[in-house]
Chains A and B, each alone.
Chain A
Amino acid sequence: MGAMDVREQVFAVMRGVGFDGDELADGKRLAEDLDIDSTELVEIVVALEQHFDITVDADAEGGFTTVGDLVGCVGRLLSAGSAARG
Chain B
Amino acid sequence: MSIVITGIGAVTPAGDGVEPLWNSAREGTSHLATIDRFDAGDYACPVAGQADFDADAELPSRFVKRTDRFTHLAVHTVRRALADAGVAVGTDVSPERTGVMVGNILGGWEFAERELRKLWTDGPRAVSPYQATAWFPAAPQGNICIDQGIKGPARTFVADRASGAYALIGAAETLLRGRADVVLAGGVEAPLSPYGWLCLETSGLVAKARGSLAPHELYRPFDAGHGGSVFAEGSVFLVMERREHAERRGARVLGELAGWGVSTDGYMPYYTVEPTGRVLGRAMRTATERAGISDGDLGAVFAHGSGIPFEDVTEGYGLWEAFGPGAARVPVTAPKSGFGHLLGAAAPADVALALRAMAAGSVPPTVNLDRQAPGIELDIVRGAARPAPEWEHTLVVSRGLGGVNACLLLRR
Chain A positions within 8 Å of B, measured between CB atoms, are 17-19, 39-40, 42-43, 46
- Nearest chain A CB to B63's CB is how many angstroms away? 8
- B60 contacts which chain A residues (CB < 8 A)? 18
Binding stretch for chain A, among B123-131, B229-237, B401-409: B123-131
Does the CB pair B62–A42 fall under 8 Å? no
- B62 contacts which chain A residues (CB < 8 A)? 17-19, 40
- A43 contacts which chain B residues (CB < 8 A)? 66, 128-130
- B66 contacts which chain A residues (CB < 8 A)? 39-40, 43
Q: In chain A, what residue has the closest Cβ to B62?
A: A18
Chain B at the A interface: mostly helix, strand, loop or mixed? helix
Does the CB pair A39–B61 fall under 8 Å? no
- Nearest chain A CB to B71's CB is how many angstroms away? 15
Count of A-B residue pairs with CB < 8 Å: 22
Interface centre among B66, B125, B129 (most CB of A within 10 A): B129
- B130 contacts which chain A residues (CB < 8 A)? 39, 43
- Nearest chain B CB to A42's CB is how many angstroms away? 4
- Nearest chain B CB to A14's CB is how many angstroms away? 10
- Nearest chain B CB to A57's CB is how many angstroms away? 14
- B129 contacts which chain A residues (CB < 8 A)? 39-40, 42-43, 46
- Nearest chain B CB to A85's CB is how many angstroms away? 23
The proximity string for B residues 37-72 relative to A, scoring 1 for CB distances below 8 Å and 0 otherwise, is 000000000000000000000001110111000000
> CA A58 – CA B130 in complex, angstroms?
18
- A42 contacts which chain B residues (CB < 8 A)? 129
> CA A25 – CA B155 in complex, angstroms?
40
- B148 contacts which chain A residues (CB < 8 A)? none
- Nearest chain B CB to A84's CB is how many angstroms away? 22
- B128 contacts which chain A residues (CB < 8 A)? 43
Q: Is B276 an interface residue (CB 8 A)?
A: no
Q: Show 5 residue pairs from A and B whose CB-CB distance is below 8 angstroms, ordered by the A residue.
A: A18-B60, A18-B65, A39-B130, A39-B133, A43-B129
A18-B61 in contact given A39-B130, A39-B133, A43-B130 (Cβ < 8 Å): yes
- B65 contacts which chain A residues (CB < 8 A)? 17-18
8 pairs of A and B residues whose beta carbons are closest in the complex? A18-B62, A42-B129, A18-B61, A39-B129, A18-B65, A43-B129, A39-B130, A46-B125
> CA A40 – CA B128 in complex, angstroms?
9
> CA A19 – CA B62 in complex, angstroms?
7
Q: In chain A, what residue has the closest Cβ to B64?
A: A18
- Nearest chain A CB to B147's CB is how many angstroms away? 13
Q: In chain B, what residue has the closest Cβ to A43?
A: B129
> CA A39 – CA B65 in complex, angstroms?
12
- A18 contacts which chain B residues (CB < 8 A)? 60-62, 64-65
- A19 contacts which chain B residues (CB < 8 A)? 62
> CA A17 – CA B128 in complex, angstroms?
11
- B64 contacts which chain A residues (CB < 8 A)? 18
- A39 contacts which chain B residues (CB < 8 A)? 66, 129-130, 133
- Nearest chain A CB to B133's CB is how many angstroms away? 7
> CA A39 – CA B139 in complex, angstroms?
15
- Nearest chain B CB to A49's CB is how many angstroms away? 8
The proximity string for B residues 115-138 relative to A, scoring 1 for CB distances below 8 Å and 0 otherwise, is 000000000010011100100000
Apart from A18-B65, A40-B62, A43-B129, what 4 extra A-B contacts exist at CB < 8 Å? Answer: A17-B65, A39-B66, A39-B130, A39-B133
